[in-house]
Amino acid sequence: VGWWAGGPELKIVSAVVGWMGPPCPQARQRAAVVGLGAVLGWLVLLWHPILGAGQITGVGAAMDCTPTKNSGRPQRNAYMVMIGPFTEERRYSNWLYAAVALHSALRHHGSTADFILLCAIRDSPVHRPAKMLPEEEALLDSNSIQYRYVTAPYGNAGFHMGHFKTWAWQFTEYDRIQLLDADVIPLTNMDDFFDLAYEAQTDFLGCPGKISVLNAGWFVLRPSCSHFEPMTRMLKADGVRWNQKEGWGHQLREGWLNAMGQWMKPGWAFFDGHGNQGHMYSYFLFDARDLTLIYADRVLQHTNGTVYGDDIIQSDHLEPMARERLRRTLREAFPCPFPKVDQPAYHHFTGNVKPWTAYKPENKAFKLWYDALERAGIDAQQTVFRDHSTAHLHGERGVGGR
């Protein structure tokens, strides 16, 4: 554990010790000094990517992603959702019900994949981090939802909430992960999209946005330390300095193709270009050179480091049977929000009004969410809306999406 010796890593360890220690500053400082050795051992036990409920992942995990040998066993898949920030204000609380509803809907439609909740802990001068209450952890445990607390890699104060999704690449015990926003309700068994990513032989299968290069509400990824480590290095305080011309280290001189098939202007001055959507797009397009995007009439695979991809539905990249399965899967359930189609794979509750902020059983999509909770043994009206003012506050300000 020589890398714990100093620098930003030591600062994060001290911060974690302070958080776990007594509330007064002097006592926390003493705990950071006296208890450092014990806490280092505690963290080393917790960083390992094998999941255990309630683990806290910090800087150790960011620097020490451990590859998992997956050969010789059946493929393992998982769904993953990120919510937060987890602070004493507990504005995240009703997003836990969103995770339960999402998990319940997946099981209802026949999914057999694992389900993991990333709980984003973010410290700030005005917000004190906090773990879930015992009854909240019990809610997840009773629904067989695994969860892990995660912090910003390297302690970067500029680490946006959306960037916490980067932790998904560290779960190398899985072959593929579908990462969804928490305010999504599946309308079908989405397990077929794992197979889609396998057959396309891609490390990132996702959707373009209308006003952004990516829509990060849903995508499929291959967990890998070879992706996780450079992606997190880009986010270090002394990492890539984003700007509208160079973006995340590469220029978009020729523009980019949006979800409606329109070429957008060059440069990085688009929605979330500086956030996780621009970050992931730049990394997989220019650095990893392994980006596959789904459009209404094509599936473009980018392996040459340019914005011009090959349509794998029309090319000989796939075997004929694989191409037909790809067409059929996308025809039966389209996983991208744009353009609107008759058979979407899920409903996304965009905007501030969510099923847990306003009780609207007459709304068909909201009703699906309430039904999913009911199948999990939760009466939405009696539980989620027991305190309307608090439910509204928590629902609006918690983050479970982009």
User: pLDDT tens-digit profile of 271-290?
Assistant: 999 999 999 999 999 999 99
Structure tokens belonging to residue 370: 């309430």
pLDDT at 57: 57
- Which pLDDT value is given to residue 238? 76
Lowest-pLDDT range of 50-59, 69-78, 246-255, 368-377 = 50-59
**Rounded Cα–Cα distance for residues 324 and 331 (Å):** 10
Q: What is the pLDDT of residue 124?
A: 78
Residue 401: pLDDT band with limits 50, 70, 90: low
pLDDT (mean) for 50-73: 62
61 part of a folded domain: no
Task: Indicate whether 46 pLDDT > 70.
Answer: no
pLDDT number for residue 2: 26
Is 325 domain-assigned?
A: yes
Same domain, 244 and 194: yes
Q: In this structure, are 31 and 90 located in the same domain? A: no
Tell me the C-alpha distance between 208 and 320, whole Å.
Answer: 25
Cα separation, 396 vs 89, whole angstroms? 13
Whether 60 is in a domain gets the answer no
pTM value is 0.83
Find all residues with CB under 8 Å of 132, minimum gap 6, and list them: 86, 96, 119, 140
Beta bridge partners of 198: none
Residue type, 244: Q
Question: Based on the domain organization, do 179 and 30 belong to the same domain?
Answer: no
Statement to judge: residues 133 and 256 lie in one domain: yes
Average pLDDT estimate for 134-157: 87
Q: What integer pLDDT is reported at residue 369 of this predicted model?
A: 98
Q: Would 233 be classed as within a structural domain?
A: yes
In whole numbers, what is the pLDDT of the chain averaged over residues?
83
Q: Give the pLDDT of residue 183.
A: 98
CA-CA distances (angstroms) from residue 204 to 147, 219, 283, 322, 326?
23, 7, 11, 18, 16
> Do 22 and 92 belong to one domain?
no
- Assign residue 228 the CATH number of its domain: 3.90.550
Residue corresponding to tokens 């099923």: 355
Number of domains in the chain: 2
Residues 257, 263: contact at Cβ < 8 Å?
yes
How large is the average pLDDT for residues 25-54?
39
pLDDT above 80: residue 127:
yes
- Give CA–CA dist 201/317, Å, rounded: 10
The pLDDT of residue 53 is above 90: no
Contact 261, 192 (CB under 8 A): no
* 42-51, 61-70, 85-94, 131-140, range with the lowest pLDDT: 42-51
Closest alpha carbon to 129 in 163, 98, 92: 92
Rounded to whole angstroms, how far apart are CA atoms 274 and 95? Answer: 25
Structural domain boundaries enclosing 318: 77-348
